[in-house]
Chains A and B, each alone.
Chain A
Amino acid sequence: MTGHGVPLELYQLVAALLFTIGLVGVLVRRSALVIFMSIELMLNAVNLSFVAFSRLHGQMDGQIFVFFVMSVAAAEVAVGLAILVAIFRNRETASVDDVHLLKG
């Protein structure tokens, strides 16, 4: 229990659902942009899990970890979108099915 109304398992269930939806997005979508958004979705599901456990144990270390996850996500988005723009400028595509050779 989190000490008020909603049990922790429900938060974990929502986090698992969001993580799975993000996983489906990464695996089946073709647009690299949407794949990035799905990765953000998975990171946020993990953040929800961290915050729920932080509340369960009454310690703030989980919230500190969410802080670090957010900064890593910001760095990842900046570099990833820069790579995407570089690919799009040269190949006129943002689909991962068209960029699969690992060479120019």
Chain B
Amino acid sequence: MAEVILFTAFALTAVAFALGVIFRRNAVHCALHLVGVLLSLSGMFVLLNAQFIAAIQILVYAGAIMVLFLFVVMLLNVKGETPLLTPGAAKGFGFLFALIAFVELLWIVLAPGGEEVAPPPAPPLVPGFGSPAAIGRALYTTWLFPFEVTSILLLVAVIGAVVLAKRKFF
């Protein structure tokens, strides 16, 4: 019962903050609403037995990435756009296509799954499911090669950001 109440609270706050992200005029407010979404999602991760991912979500996403966002927003000092949304027919098409995509997603989520009517019962969780030790063991054995590729990706991103920030391109 407690899970249902917590899930409802996290889901409602996440959706409300998400609407704030796309409909607030001030970019700083948008960024802070996005932090609210990230915190709600990390609560849901805890409900789903993903404690390590929840901690990483707060540390990396709400901490590092959103600080970068806020830093750039305040550095650029962008005025609130006077027409908030893109003008003309593009706005209508945007809402229309998003609605179509949402209906498709709903169809995927809620449609009955063919001949398999009853979902298989959830297997019992291994002890330490979602703990840092278990994640680390999987990350450094099964997923070692993707992990190393990720380090190269981050290195390239750092070099790219420095090059873009130092030279004049436009």
Contact = CB atoms under 8 A, between A and B. Distances in A.
A103 B138 CA distance: 46
Contacts of B47: 6
Name the residue in B90, B126, B165 with the highest tally of chain A Cβ atoms < 10 Å from its Cβ: B165
A77 B65 contact: yes
Contact of B125 (A14, A44, A51, A58): A58
Interface residues of B, number: 88
Interface string B139-159: 100110010001001101110
B102 A16 contact: yes
A41 B122 contact: no
A93 B137 CA distance: 47
A12 B109 contact: yes
Interface string B74-87: 01101001011111
16 contacts: A3-B125, A16-B109, A18-B18, A28-B22, A30-B81, A30-B85, A37-B31, A44-B61, A47-B53, A51-B50, A54-B48, A55-B122, A72-B150, A75-B153, A82-B165, A86-B169
